[in-house]
Chain A
Amino acid sequence: MTQAIGEFKHSAPLTLGVELELQLVSRRDFNLVRGATDLIGSLDYDGRYGEIKLEITESMIEVSTQPQATVDGIAADLAGLRDTLRLHADRNNIAICGGGTHPFHHWPERRICPGDRFEALYQRYGYLAKQFTVFGQHIHVGVTSADDAIWLTQALGVYVPAFIALSAASPYVDGVDSFFQSARLNAVSAFPLSGQCPPLADWAAFIEHFSFLQACGIASSIKDLYWDVRPKPEFGTVEIRVCDTPLAIEQAASLAALAQSLSCWLLRTRPELQAAKQVYVARANKFQACRYGMDAVLADPAGPSQVPLRQSLLDLLDTLSDDARQLGCEHWLNALRPIVSDEAGDAAWLRRRHAQHNNLNDVVRDACERLMPRSSDKSWENIR
């Protein structure tokens, strides 16, 4: 059934919302468990920090913050959601962790969550729906107009490799090291409407493009667009969808700080976009970031030339510092610098834990501790 795109709801500029898809794992062997419906069913929670809801399979759960003006607000909501989940997961004997993939789960064991939408996705995509048991962070940035949303969607597309490399937390798939920093996006790439937003001039062009997709029977609602960055008219936001769920909520807040300050800078300076040329390099750049992380070498279509991602990211963080200071999120943004310069990213952390334990069960156990440190036990801080 096709669904028309409604009016673009205008938001306060640069407001934020964060969604995290989290892994539900067994406390016995730290493999994924089917427990989402039971966990949601047993929740005694008034929604003060945002929503906790089902995702496509029973081994996933999604938390989403309330809309917030500041990154501090996002961090507070994420902490509240984490503590709420911890309380209820403990009662149900389930552990929860971050990361973009579960390192060793067997996808045929996954079960689709009850619900018409999930069942429709399963019927439509078959086994891809179960293989979609991967875990991402989505960041919403509020914009004041529909045209700005389309412009920002195009502008942020250039920085997709930066978000991928900074959040990369999925080096292991099916029990083996994939050699990727973020293997999660390979599962997303299988979907026919994944990838980047095509070059579009404004909201009217977007509506025309989407109507074309609907007429061709390719998409029925905007939820079918699995773009890396997409407009979200019902929220009045632009949604960045390429990040792996980080191992700690502090990292999720830092990525939100990058999204906010980068959007602020882009909307303020309005750099000239190379949207048409960007289409030709976007997939290659995304692969570079997924495969090599900070060591990626990106294609710059404006040059044309090659640019090392690490150096360009350090330059970008310097560029954004004034905007971040004005937005009150500089400390969150600066927390990203060690990832760029010191190999302190989550993928490297997971590989170090694997080298130490020589098994992936203990890696997931440590990852659970990292996401949900006991309030009286700050030893997770030393794990890094």
Chain B
Amino acid sequence: MPHDHDPLEEGPALRVRALEELMVAKGLVKSETLDSIVEYYERETGPRNGAAVVARAWTDPDYKDWLLRDGSAAINAMGFSGFQGEHIRVVENTETVHNVIVCTLCSCYPWPVLGLPPTWYKSPAYRSRVVREPRAVLAEFGVSLPDEMQIKVWDSTAEIRYLVLPRRPEGTEGLSAAELADLVTRNGMIGTALI
């Protein structure tokens, strides 16, 4: 619901406010704890974390090997950890394989490195279609891949969360890791964009 004056907003907004007040009255939650949780996810998680991981892998072959072998440990070593990121597998895009991530059953997503998922990732259209017709879905994101490119879709059905290691763009040999990180997009790390 992206519109600023969506009439549906009133119902859930009231419902959630009433629920919070009741839960506070019951002593089950504290409002300041909710503030801290929101602030944490907005400030300390997000795609810039994932971008730093990708840029380091692009510039440090040993780190890249570690990241592909044991994603969780290599990511934890950069200070990114926590709920929905306990077990992360990093899958590498190559000249022959393109990876795309989904959770068809709910909305599983690697929170510490990408933040909370965007609305489209949670949408019935994405969840239903990307496992069946990934090329058509990628086309809607403006991504067109050669026919011979193998597309691997990773459906996050258990406790492992996935992060795509995109291909490093050509002509970036002279860039630092920090400059490279600026090129890396969230969708690139889901697999719905190329970098």
Whether A and B are associated in the same complex: the answer reads no
| Chain B residues proximal to chain A, CB less than 8 Å | none
- Chain A positions near chain B (C-beta within 8 angstroms): none
